[in-house]
Structure 1
Amino acid sequence: MRKTTIMHMMCTLFIGLSIHTLQAQQTIPAKMLTIQGRAFPSAPNFHRLDTAKYNDLPPTVKKLYTHPTGLFTSFKSNTSKLAITWETIDAELGNNSTPIMSRGFDVYVKENDDWRFAGVARPDLHNAKSTYTLIDHMATSEKEFLLYFPLYKELLDFNLMIDDKASFEATTQFFDKKIIVYGSSIVHGASASRPGLAYPAKLSRKLKANVVNLGVSGNARMELSVADMLNTIENPDLIIMDCVPNSSPQQVAERTFEFVKRLRERHPHVPILLIESITRQIGNYNLQWKQRLADQNINFRKEYERLLAAGYKNLYYLPTDHLIGDDYEGTVDGTHPTDVGFERMVQIIQPKIEAIWNAKGGAH
């Protein structure tokens, strides 16, 4: 009898502690936060654009724009613990990416007007619904958090969980410049280890600019319907075309001129930066890939020069040289950059952007 009584008391205590733990937090639904980092504030859910408004976009491109790639939210709180529950459309994962990058989150904290990495949310590998503590045991001073969304999976919903008595204030980041990056899986974020390390996100933090990620993995082929969509974006300060990797050499030759021409119909003076394909290390010994890359970039350069000859201004060009380094260690699979590869790209692309903004026009 005594043993039964003790067990009963222990169970009661455990249940009480569990209830107390559940009660000792508050839930912040996503609707209380401001979704940032996208070109179209009216986009539904966590999509990058309202695909229903762009009927002419290729179906796969439309699907990829339901991914919350590059989106983020920010808020202030004095919580000691930050956790998150979320659901993605499914639990599938790519074979050259981390689960955190594809379906998870990472969070930064503002320190002296810069952002410092603080933690990640690791997704459940078998279920579309996940729960994870990004960081705990923090000091209870007020901090501002920056939370990046998954790069490669449609996000259905999420809730933040903070201390029961903690303060909470949704914040909005304000930027002087807006950059639109259209491109391939490399722009999309493959194969960063986590969302905040994709090169558009890194550029955003380093430049303190709103860098809108419009990467479409495997599908950046310069269709004019995409140019028309880009033309509906208001007041960009720079448009980056990093789309060569997905376009065949023939498509590069046939579409680059017309794509830029179409962009100029709506954005006649906005600087446009054309970036060659990175040197794919898969071509170190695969001669077919090596030739394809050479032809892609040769044709891209020819079209750039043809645009200049036709009188187009404010066009800039970045060759593949050194973009992911010269030691053959910058990619996961011979194509998609590692975090090291992305950092090397940023070290070259960032100064180019700063030079463009300091220039008075022309071509470089």
Structure 2
Amino acid sequence: MYIFRRISVCLLFFVFYSNAQQETLKWHTEKNFSVQGKIQGDRTLPYRRFPAEMRSKVREPVWNLSTNSAGLYIDFYTNSPTIEVKYQVKGELAFPHMPATGVSGVDLYVLDKEEKWLWARGNYHFGDTISYKYRGFKADLADKLNYFRLYLPLYNSVKWLKIGIDSDTTFSKVDTDGKQKPIVVYGTSIAQGACASRAGMAWSNILERKLHRQVVNLGFSGNGRLEPEIIDFISDMNASVYVLDCMANFGSGKELGPEEAKRRLKQAVKDIRKKHPDTPILIVEHAGYSNGEVQPGRLHTYTVLNVATLEVFNELIHEKIPAIYLLKKEAIGLGIDSFVDGTHPNDFGMLQYAEAYYTKINEIEN
């Protein structure tokens, strides 16, 4: 009985302490910050990638994937030594080939005085409500406003989210949308972020930090298929570069073989050109599979698709379509250690993707 009482007292103390700690935090919602990384942000719900009118224009699987918050982020200033993030999501927390920290987790970075993004470790808990707690920042981050970036989940849909800071500290939002033309990426599950271990390790988010520029992530898993409705949507905004990285989704059959890939790719480029005569368009080859040298069927799948991609590129050049560029499989450089499941890259593969894009975009713009 004595031991039971001691345990009860300890539990009561823990609950009291936790509640008291919560009361010392000041919470901020989307009323206090801007969710960035999307097109037409003022017409789109905070944690969505498409505005509502797109629901009637695209296939249901595309719409459902568009509610995932891949590539979305929140920039804010605070001088708080403690940051806590709480939120709920709608889908599965984890996949067999991708951890909860990547599917459903957030990821926090801080910009240092040399303009370098540093990663912050958070203690996380996954349940009906997900929480990340960040504390113990180094001395030169204390007592001054610091620029933070919070990346949102790659493969889940956020219902609500709030950011807590110490009640005697400052929080202010950062608005960067519209200040620079973004890089717009239309792609597959790899573009969406599969299978990064955490949100910040999706290649589009790595590239964003390397370039210090917004990268809009329109990866739609297996449903990134160069569809005219999406091409029309991305053509409605002024991008600095349009990236078409959908080839991996044309090897699955379902009437989506190399010939259909060629037709859709060429039409997509021409449709963008109608509205944007000179904006660079980067066409990306299939990056391959890690088992291609062992299982010939897989080698054939990406080889014929890359032959088709190169044919379209050469045709566009022959037709004197301006500012068309090609990122080749060899430049991405994935190897047998770059994948989780032979199809989707691990963090090392994501770094290789980002580096290849970084090199190519610098080549295009300089």
Q: TM-score, normalization: structure 2?
A: 0.89
Distance 1:252 1:11 in 2: 61
Alignment map for 1:342-357 (pairs within 5 Å)? 342-357=350-365
Q: How many residues align?
A: 353
1:153 Cα offset (Å):
0.5
* Alignment match, 2:209: 205
**Cα contact 1:54–1:229 (8 A) shared by 2:** no
1:13 Cα offset (Å):
6.6
1:156 aligns with 2:165: no
* Alignment match, 1:100: 101
1:19 Cα offset (Å):
4.5
1:301-331 alpha-carbon deviations (Å, 9 max, x no partner): 10111112222110001110041344x2111
1:268 aligns with 2:277: yes
1:123 Cα offset (Å):
5.0
Distance 2:128 2:271 in 1: 40
SS of the aligned residue for 1:284 comes to coil
Q: TM-score, normalization: structure 1?
A: 0.89
1:202 Cα offset (Å):
0.9
Distance 1:227 1:184 in 2: 14
Distance 1:47 1:257 in 2: 29
Letter in structure 1 aligned against 2:192 = H
Change (3 A) 1:276 1:13: closer
1:27 aligns with 2:36: no
Higher mean C-alpha deviation, range 241-250 or range 184-193:
241-250
1:236 pairs, out of 239, 249, 252, with 239
1:118 pairs, out of 114, 120, 125, with 120
Change (3 A) 1:187 1:7: closer
1:287 Cα offset (Å):
1.5
**Cα contact 2:93–2:100 (8 A) shared by 1:** no
1:8 Cα offset (Å):
10
Cα RMSD, aligned residues only: 2.5
* Alignment match, 2:345: 337
Distance 1:264 1:356 in 2: 17
* Alignment match, 2:254: none
1:173 pairs, out of 171, 176, 192, with 176
1:135 aligns with 2:139: no
1:254 pairs, out of 263, 274, 280, with 263
Unaligned runs of 5+ in 1: 359-364
Letter in structure 2 aligned against 1:132 = Y
**Cα contact 2:207–2:355 (8 A) shared by 1:** no
Distance 1:188 1:12 in 2: 44
Identical pairs, percent? 26
